[in-house]
Amino acid sequence: ANKKIELINRITAQELSHEIQNNNKLLIDVRKKSEFNAEHVIDAINIPLNEISKRLNEFPKDKPFVLNCAGGYRSIIAASILKQNGFSNFSDVVGGFSEIKKTSIPTTEFVCPSTLL
């Protein structure tokens, strides 16, 4: 239809593991705070999807970062919001935290969310 399209750079969890080891890549987790508190990648920052528009100033414009959620759906929505706001220096993890957990990327110990109430 000759309409402009935007592309989202997507990486695998294995590629993220390599990038973290070599570049100390910033990871932004867009899951709900309760999901993040239950378990997350060590040193990841939590900016839940429903807060992104209010917290755009917390996303770096001068260095690359990576988005993740639980399975990849919310992080793609987050990516769309960021693209609409002029960001292009990021990637999204295919399969999200589910795939990250299968790698050697260090995560916090799992805490049952019901104990966090």
Domains identified in the chain, total number: 1
Confidence band of 13 (pLDDT split at 50, 70, 90): very high
Domain residues for 83? 9-108
Residue 63 domain flag: yes
The CATH number that applies at residue 100 is 3.40.250.10
pLDDT in the model for residue 114:
76
Name residues whose C-beta falls within 8 Å of residue 27's C-beta, 6 or more positions apart in sequence: 16, 20, 41, 43, 44, 45, 65, 66, 67, 68
Residue 87 domain flag: yes
Residue 64 domain flag: yes
Q: What's the average model confidence in pLDDT over 24-51?
A: 96
Note the pLDDT tens digit of each residue in 33-44: 999 999 999 999
Residue 88 domain flag: yes
Note the pLDDT tens digit of each residue in 62-99: 999 999 999 999 999 999 999 999 999 999 999 999 99
Residue 35 domain flag: yes
pTM for the full predicted model: 0.92
Residue 116 domain flag: no
CB atoms near residue 15 (< 10 Å)? 15
pLDDT in the model for residue 25:
85
